[in-house]
Amino acid sequence: MPKVTGIRFKHAGLVYYFNPGDIELVTGEDVVVDTARGASIGKVVVAPKEVDASEIGEPLKSVLRKAQLEDLEQINKIRQMEMEALVKCEELVEKFRLPMKLLSAEYNLDGSYLTIFFKSEKRVDFRALLRELSSTLKTRVELRQVGTRDAAKLVGGVGRCGRPLCCASHLTKFETISMKMAREQNLPLNPTNISGVCSRLLCCLAYENEQYREMKQKMPAAGQTVDTRLGAGKVIGVNPLKGTITIQLESEAVVELPASEAKPCKQ
């Protein structure tokens, strides 16, 4: 069976599999790997292991070597080059009056390939920008447009909860989030109240959604008529976390009782 090792290039980024060859690796080590954009530095997050060949979709790129001191020193130079590339690109964006917001720049290890990420509300014809930028920086340049969620992940920040953004701190991929999740958790359905800095629905709506759904299945549903020690009434609210339901009795009084005390009315 082929041997693979898992490499991550960014904090909270996806894990990519590479062929470690005969190099002995442990998690946490920095390595230089071969990628479609040339040599890049990543961190080992999955130690070399054997896997079934069917789990590998395409031929694996290789781990070239463990990162050496000169590789790490090169990374510091690359970071400075990325800042300078962003400044130059910003000047050209203004020159060509393009509706682009630049987010970040990434060079490969030897500086021969540059990727600049940006966001825009519409498609942008950046061919003139690309030609001049490539000519000025003397390197191959890729301009990549990303959506608002990916933009938040690239830039980072603090969420409405006061903690670092989930997408930038630990989420490796985005799940589909829907208003149904908010409804399931009895949250306000005003998008302004349940949206993140990316203006999309909060990723954390998915964290407890399954638990809410399971708990609510064990409780009377809103609108159901139930019998209680205080008499029959209609369920007008459900609180899965407290395990209680709010009932409007036949006397029109509204009470909150443990869900375990309510029984479906006999027909």
Are 62 and 79 part of one and the same domain? no
Are 232 and 202 part of one and the same domain? no
Is residue 216 in a domain? Answer: no
Are 77 and 100 part of one and the same domain? yes
**Domain closes at, from 32, 67, 102:** 67
Are 17 and 47 part of one and the same domain? yes
Are 140 and 81 part of one and the same domain? yes
The percent of residues above 90 in pLDDT, for the chain, comes to 84
How many domains does one find in the chain?
Answer: 4
pLDDT at position 267 is: 56
Are 60 and 80 part of one and the same domain? no
Are 61 and 79 part of one and the same domain? no
Give the span between the Cα atoms of 159 and 171, in whole angstroms.
14
pLDDT score of 57 more than 80: no
Alpha helix positions (H), 67-208:
69-95, 127-137, 148-155, 166-169, 179-184
Burial 44-74 (b: 16+ CB within 10 A, else e): bebebeeeeeeeeeeebbebbeebeeebeeb
The percent of residues above 70 in pLDDT, for the chain, comes to 99
Are 200 and 168 part of one and the same domain? yes
Burial 160-184 (b: 16+ CB within 10 A, else e): eeeeebbbbeebeebeebeeebbeb
pLDDT score of 143 more than 70: yes
Q: Torsion over CA of 82, 13, 48 and 26, rounded to 10 degrees?
A: 70
Domain of 135, CATH number, reads 3.30.300.20
Is residue 182 in a domain? Answer: yes
Are 84 and 136 part of one and the same domain? yes
pLDDT score of 266 more than 90: no
pLDDT at position 36 is: 92
Query: What is the average per-residue pLDDT within 28-40?
Result: 96
Is residue 218 in a domain? Answer: no
**Domain closes at, from 44, 67, 90:** 67
Average pLDDT, the chain: 93
Is residue 21 in a domain? Answer: yes
pLDDT at position 1 is: 78
**Domain closes at, from 146, 177, 194:** 146
Are 79 and 133 part of one and the same domain? yes
Is residue 219 in a domain? Answer: no
C-alpha distance from residue 199 to each of 111, 159, 176, 227 (Å): 34, 11, 14, 44
Are 189 and 253 part of one and the same domain? no
> pLDDT digits over 165-219, tens only?
999 999 999 999 999 999 989 898 999 999 999 999 999 999 999 999 999 988 9
pLDDT at position 35 is: 95
Is residue 196 in a domain? Answer: yes
> pLDDT digits over 74-84, tens only?
999 999 999 99
Is residue 158 in a domain? Answer: no
Burial category of 13 from C-beta neighbours within 10 Å (exposed 0-12, middle 13-18, buried 19 and up): middle
Query: What is the average per-residue pLDDT within 30-39?
Result: 95
Give the span between the Cα atoms of 110 and 78, in whole angstroms.
8
Query: What is the average per-residue pLDDT within 37-58?
Result: 89
**Which of the four pLDDT bands, split at 50, 70 and 90, describes residue 226?**
very high
Is residue 197 in a domain? Answer: yes
pLDDT at position 51 is: 86
Query: What is the average per-residue pLDDT within 121-142?
Result: 95
Model pTM above 0.75: yes
pLDDT at position 89 is: 97
Question: Helix and strand tally (H, E) in the chain?
Answer: 6, 13
Domain span at 242: 225-264
**Residues 232, 255: contact at Cβ < 8 Å?**
no
**Residues 175, 203: contact at Cβ < 8 Å?**
yes
Between 51 and 109, where is the model more confident?
109
pLDDT score of 252 more than 70: yes
